[in-house]
Amino acid sequence: MKVKKLYIVSLIVCMALVVALLPLTSACAPKTQPGQVLKVGIMTPTTGPAAEKGRPMGHANLDAIEYINAELNGAGGYQIKVSWLDSAYDAAKVITIVDRFMDEGCLLFTTSSSKEMSVAMESANRAEFPGIACFSSPILYRPPQHIYGQTPDYGDDALAFANFYVKNIWKGQEKPKFALHLLNNPTGYGARDAFRAKAEELGIEVVSIDEHAATTTSEMESLTRIKAKKPDVLFISSTPAPTAVIIKNARDLGMYPGITIGCAHASFTKALIDLAGASVVEGVYGTFPTVMWDEDVPGMAKMTEYCKKLHPDDYGNMDYITAWAQSLIVAKILELAVKNAGYDVLAKGNVESWRAVETQGIQKLKNYDVGGLQGPVSYTAGDNRLTKYNRIYQIVNGKITNPSKWVEASLVKYEEYEWFGK
């Protein structure tokens, strides 16, 4: 009988403790009110000359935000409200879009491409409005201001591939000869600047540098000149459509197979294979900053679920992975900013809010693993690249495969070279 009474007393005490702790528990969670949201701006080139990249990236950005809001209770307990706009890869539209994001009180904005951000950065930096470029070029954040790169930049791509080639493919005694074919915007210029800064250190010789437009339909003339230089490597830093043209032309001229072709990550995705044809790009190497589809990493299952449910045609496109990861990173930044600065500061949607997002969100990132979909995300003072890790892949039997180990890109302070930005 005494045991029974003791049990009842203990039960009452436990229940009292639970009741007493409930207010403390609820106090830890944000007390959101109707209409309290965290606004972000997202632009993608969904139409225009880079649409083969922009469409799946826009889909992934918005699919991931839907997942975050529906299943993760938003960022820090607040729903994320997206202002999404199509840049059409057009500079004039980009300027208008960034101004609109600021006017709407967005806390930060993202772009898919380095070209978009290269246009947006002037007004964004002047206003202290933080931006994150999915694919980036050194010119966007050297020297560091308020623009950040989600992934290693096109300069990092060039150096990673060149180093891989020298160590794993090149068998000659002399310096290997590299010919560069570059998109005539920051996508190409980032690779150009990297080779300019580090070619001698890498032990390679750059024998030619040619540029092309995003709308090019033939590069037979430039490739004929390149062929005469007898390069060992053709390195392409571009988007999928012009890269497909260049590789087709290289085959028509009998250059490939024969030379090695390497691609920066802007073009090295499923769209390149679809546009050029699997047999045309067989054996081509490229860099990319994410895992492949169906790799055994924690974030793969949920991303695959949403992709197949909402945009099944994007399945297998690694650009989707990159943009999905971008939205997860945005949510993590907002979560940190809410925790460290408070919702009331962010709700203002002004320069005070932007400073809080940057200093209490972006710059507090430390080893966020993004579900293993890409390299860990951290901010390092003086280095606005949030991820420093890349992989080298190869197209085999119509698929992007044969991943190398993760390659960490060291920091290059391009602004210390007198020619940078000129």
Is there a single domain that holds both residue 73 and residue 139? yes
Assign residue 278 the CATH number of its domain: 3.40.50.2300
Is there a single domain that holds both residue 169 and residue 280? yes
Is there a single domain that holds both residue 205 and residue 241? yes
Report pLDDT for 422. Answer: 84
Is 323 a member of any domain? yes
Cα 287 to Cα 156: distance, rounded to the nearest angstrom: 9
Is there a single domain that holds both residue 256 and residue 322? no
Task: Provide the domain count of the chain.
Answer: 2
Give residue 189's domain range.
155-288+409-416
Is 361 a member of any domain? yes
Cα 193 to Cα 187: distance, rounded to the nearest angstrom: 11
Is there a single domain that holds both residue 356 and residue 374? yes
Is there a single domain that holds both residue 302 and residue 375? yes
Is there a single domain that holds both residue 263 and residue 180? yes
Is there a single domain that holds both residue 132 and residue 146? yes
pLDDT tens for the chain, 422 residues long, are: 444 443 433 433 334 433 344 343 334 545 677 789 999 999 999 999 999 999 999 999 999 999 999 999 999 999 999 999 999 999 999 999 999 999 999 999 999 999 999 999 999 999 999 999 999 999 999 999 999 999 999 999 999 999 999 999 999 999 999 999 999 999 999 999 999 999 999 999 999 999 999 999 999 999 999 999 999 999 999 999 999 999 999 999 999 999 999 999 999 999 999 999 999 999 999 999 999 999 999 999 999 999 999 999 999 999 999 999 999 999 999 999 999 999 999 999 999 999 999 999 999 999 999 999 999 999 999 999 999 999 999 999 999 999 999 999 999 999 999 999 88
Q: Label residue 114 exposed, middle or buried (CB < 10 Å: 0-12, 13-18, 19+).
A: buried
Is 87 a member of any domain? yes
pTM, full prediction: 0.90
Is 9 a member of any domain? no
Is 421 a member of any domain? no
Is 14 a member of any domain? no
Is there a single domain that holds both residue 266 and residue 297? no
Is 165 a member of any domain? yes
Is there a single domain that holds both residue 222 and residue 198? yes
Is there a single domain that holds both residue 231 and residue 339? no
Report pLDDT for 16. Answer: 41
Cα 385 to Cα 250: distance, rounded to the nearest angstrom: 34
Is 97 a member of any domain? yes
Is there a single domain that holds both residue 302 and residue 283? no
Q: Label residue 342 exposed, middle or buried (CB < 10 Å: 0-12, 13-18, 19+).
A: middle
Cα 383 to Cα 281: distance, rounded to the nearest angstrom: 35
